Amino acid sequence: MFPVSDLNERLNQLDNNPGEYDDVYVGELVQKDGKVEFRPTGDMPIRDFPTKDNKIQGALEIFAMPQKDPNGNVFPERYIISLDPVDNDKANTMSFGSMFVLDLWTDAIVAEYTGRPPFANDLYEIVRKTCLFYNAKCMYENNLHGIFSYFSQHNCTYMLADTP
């Protein structure tokens, strides 16, 4: 069912090239004067799973910055975000929130976040800023209502994709 040989080949590439992630931006998105900008940090992304506990903050990783048109605007409808959210601030399972940003023009993952911030709203804010940064819509697991409530409180429901 899974392309096992391709996955093993990729795993070998990563194992044999420790500098594979050297060109990955790790940091946070900061909103100033209505614009969202990337700022590098020393945060550590989760590279090994399973982890010993579920209190690991994780980090936003950017593999490719958003592509812009000649006017400096991120192309509309180029990026889409998938989100596996968490609704509870604390959990008894090893559950993490996980977000991936896909470039629909190249079929490449351009950013990701996996982690468990102290509060669910912290995760929602990371997602909201990422939507703004990539001019993207977010497809989310809609049986959990926290993300919708958060985006509604911030007048951002237009960033949530309709159910496919």
| Residues linked to residue 30 through DSSP beta bridges, in sequence order | 37
Distance (Å, rounded) from C-alpha 54 to C-alpha 57?
9
Q: What is the pLDDT along the chain (164 residues), one digit of tens a residue?
A: 778 888 888 778 767 776 665 678 999 999 998 899 999 998 888 877 777 776 788 899 999 999 999 999 999 999 999 999 887 766 666 678 899 999 999 999 999 999 988 888 999 999 999 999 999 999 998 777 889 999 999 999 999 998 87
For residue 112, the Cα-to-chain-centroid distance in whole angstroms is: 4
Q: What is the pLDDT of residue 75?
A: 96
The backbone torsions φ and ψ at residue 9, rounded to the nearest 5 degrees and listed phi first, read -65, -45
Confidence (pTM) = 0.82
Alpha-carbon torsion angle 100, 124, 85, 164, nearest 10? -70
Q: Which two tokens stand for residue 139?
A: 């497809």
Residue-level pLDDT at 144 = 76
